[in-house]
Amino acid sequence: MDLGRRIVVYGPAGSGKTTVSRAIGERLGLAVVELDHLFWRQSDWEEPPVEEFRERVLSHLHGLSGWVCDGNYSMVRGDILPMADAAVWLKLPFHAVYR
């Protein structure tokens, strides 16, 4: 299956987004972008303003020739999804995710 060079991975917290993203990135030789890292990179753990976060994400993604991006930040979904070649949705049963 050809997923392309720009892939997004969605799923609820604890569903394995980062693990799956890293596996895809390794197999396809793509950079893995964890939105949590870009969102929470401030030392005081305060949420950044929406526009600052959007700029941070878009600047990071545009600097890469290909990527696997994981995270469920609705404030950037409308920016990232149109750039993606494929989307992976992890839909696991509640008891598997939240045990």
Sheet holding 67-70, edge to edge: 31-34, 67-70, 6-10, 86-89
Comparing 8-12, 44-48, 67-71, 80-84, which segment has the lowest mean pLDDT?
44-48
pLDDT digits 0-9 by tens, 55-72: 999 999 999 999 999 988
- Residue 33: burial class (beta carbons within 10 Å; 0-12, 13-18, 19+): buried
pTM: 0.87
- Residue 76: burial class (beta carbons within 10 Å; 0-12, 13-18, 19+): buried
Residue 75 pLDDT exceeds 80? yes
